[in-house]
Amino acid sequence: MELREFSDPTLWAAVLRRDRSYDGKFVYVAITTGIYCRPSCPSRRPHRRHALILPSSDEAESAGFVPCLRCYPNSLNPAELSIKAALDYIQEHADCRITLHELSEVSGLSPNHLQQTFKRIVGVSPKAFYNAQRFIRFKQLVRAGESVTSACYGVGYGSSRALYENAVHWLGMTPGTYQRRGEGTVIRYLIIQAFLGRVLLAGTEWGISTIRLGQNDDSLLRDLQEEFNRAVLVPAKTSISELAAIVASCRLEDPFLTRLPLAVRCQIFETKLWALIALHKSRI
């Protein structure tokens, strides 16, 4: 078959610096061995004249080349499998109390290695993602009619105090006010374009109350009105430049994340956005 080799010099430069952000965009082949690799492969790189740059793993294998056993260019590598196992476990056990040691056993990585690898690949710490999943579940339980206390214990909090300590960060109001659909609060909102779609940010003077991703502004607003049907909802009057810059900064995501279901990618994006907004102490 005729090979469609890329000639763009920036691609070989990515190989030379083992740039992980290019993984999934192309592969390179060591002609002398017949092995193809990700751009980020830790193996010794061949001389440029002994290498081919091809668009995909499929094209490399169709030409008879075999995948590298160090970087796994046609599948998830061991580190990615470990992080996927941790992500899946957190989502499946968001209603339980999860420790880093527990995640370490699930992922097969030491606690310290898991912490570092998870943060590098996912963009937030395991704890941040776990806390986000807990509050997503807490909101679901409360909106389904459960009491704050029942929902609190239903997502693994040992006491209501722990819930209330985190409520301002994740709700922008007390859990009781959230249960009453934002009664007596003024919630400002804005909608910004993000790489995964339109993102709605809404919050009070205390903090962000909700982050929603969608493709249609009208449906995002309807969801907001349903979630906070007793609050006063008003468009944000402040400049959106700072928040737009924060949203844009979340565009960078590890290639591994593009292999995950869109719903999981959205949850990770929302968690990163929530963490950055809190870090910058931004308000709507």
- Rounded CA separation 110/82 (Å): 11
> Of 37, 152, 250, 266, which residue is the catalytic one?
37
> Of 41, 152, 250, 266, which residue is the catalytic one?
41
Q: Decide: 169 and 278 in contact? Cβ < 8 Å.
A: yes
- Rounded CA separation 271/254 (Å): 15
Q: Is residue 41 annotated as a catalytic residue, yes or no?
A: yes
- Rounded CA separation 132/140 (Å): 12
- Rounded CA separation 102/109 (Å): 11
State the first-to-last Cα distance of the chain, in angstroms, to the nearest integer. 57
Tokens for 153, please give them: 């214990």
> What is residue 79's DSSP assignment?
H
State the residue for tokens 């279901």. Answer: 261
DSSP string across 165-223: HHHHHHHSS-HHHHHTTTTT-EEEEEEEEETTEEEEEEE-SSSEEEEEEES-HHHHHHH
> Of 68, 152, 250, 266, which residue is the catalytic one?
68
Report the Cα 219 to chain-centroid distance in Å.
Answer: 22
Q: Is residue 152 annotated as a catalytic residue, yes or no?
A: no
Q: Is residue 68 annotated as a catalytic residue, yes or no?
A: yes
Residues annotated as catalytic (active site), given as ranges: 37, 41, 68, 71
